[in-house]
Amino acid sequence: MYNQLPNDAVMLLSYINMQLRDHYDSFEDLCLSLQVSADEISKKLAEIDYIYDADANQFK
């Protein structure tokens, strides 16, 4: 599902937002670079009520 990404949703949130902040200009760039499914990550984070905000380039 997520290569070597954290399986826990809260840990995944922290990891994804840190990567977006430090290394990527967009969620799409992150997913392409890490070869992960944007839909699967979005669904997992939506379970804890976080959605991607493109303007802020983070899940909120």
pLDDT in tens, the chain (60 residues): 446 899 999 999 999 999 999 999 999 999 999 999 999 999 999 999 999 999 999 999
Gap between the terminal Cα atoms of the chain: 22
In the DSSP assignment, the letter for residue 58 is E
Q: How far does Cα 48 stand from its chain's mean position?
A: 13
Q: How many CB atoms sit inside 10 A of residue 50's CB?
A: 19
- Predicted TM-score of the model (pTM): 0.92
Q: Residue 17, Cβ neighbours under 10 Å: how many? A: 18
